[in-house]
Amino acid sequence: MSEKNRKRVFITGGASGLGLALAVRFAREGWRVAVADINDERCETACAAVDKNGGQSLSVHCDIRSDSEVSEAVDLVTREWGGLDVLINNAGVASAGTMLDTSIEDWRWMIDINLLGAIRVSKAFLPVMKGSVCGHVINIASAAGIAQCPGMASYNVAKAGMIALSETLKNELKPMGIGVTVVCPSFFVTNLLESYKGTDAGARDVANRLMKRSKLTADDIAEAVWRGMQGNDFFVFGHGEARLAYHFKRLFPGMFSTSTHKVAERMFAGMTTPAAEKPNGH
C-alpha cells in the first residue's frame, strides 16, 4: 500500500493498554497510526509494534492537559500527513471515592484528563478532519458512564460526560460526514490502575480482581471498536453486561435505581455521613 493511500488515525494514550491494542488493530489494516502518549519510552515500543504489524507509525509526545502540546500534536500530524481520518480519545485515569471524600483537587485531575482532555483534543483536531472521506471520532468512555456505581463519583461523572460529549458530537458532526462512536466496556485487563487515585485502599484491589476475572482482553475490545467504526455504530460495549446495564436502565429506570440503592446500602453499611465543614473555620 502506498503512503498516499494509507488512512490516518491519532490515538491518545496509545502507548499501552487499550490504546496500544487499538494502534495494532489499525496497523493490521495498513493505517498510518499516530501514537500519542506522555511516556516516550512506551511510545517508541508501541510505534515498533505498529510498524511490525503492517502500519506506519508516528510517535507523538502529548499531554492532553496541555493546550500547547495538543496544538503541537495537530501541527505535527498536519505537517506529516496533511490531515486526519480518525481520532480516538482513549487516554484516561482511574479513581475511586464518594462525592464527599473526593477532594476538589482530585476532581480537577479526573475531569481535566478524562473529559476535558477529550474535549481539548477534539476541538483541536476536528478542523483538520473536515475534508476526510472516512472521518470518525471514537471516544473511550466506560460502563461506569451508564451505570453509576456508588463510590466512584468523579470517574462516573467524567465517563458520563464523555457519553454526553459523544452524543453532542454525533449530532453536530453528521452534516460534516464525520461519524462518532462511544465505547463503554466493563472491566478488562489493562494498565489503567497505574494512574489510580482513591481514598479507599480496598477499591483498587476490587477493581484489579474484576479486571483479572474478565473474559475479554484489550484486543477483544479493540476488535469490537474496529467493527463498530465500520458499521458506524454509536455505542460499542464489548461486554454483554455493559450492554445489559444500558438497556435495563433505559427500559426499567425504577428497577435499576432500586438495585443501585441496594448496592450502595451494602457498601456503606455502618458508615455515618461526615459533617459538612464550616466556612472560614467558624
Give the active site residues.
Answer: 155
* Best CA proximity match to 260, nearest among 248, 274, 243: 248
* Residue 97 CB contacts under 8 Å (≥ 6 apart), including other chains: 106, 151, 152, 153, 154, 198, 199, 200, 203
* Best CA proximity match to 161, nearest among 117, 193, 191: 117
* Best CA proximity match to 34, nearest among 78, 93, 97: 78
C-beta of residue 33 within 8 angstroms of C-beta of residue 55: yes
- Distance between CA atoms of residues 48 and 27, nearest Å: 11
How many C-beta atoms surround the C-beta of residue 44 within 10 A?
14
For residue 126 the three cell numbers come to 476536528
CA atoms within 13 A on the CB side of 222: 22
Distance of CA 63 to the CA centre of its chain: 15
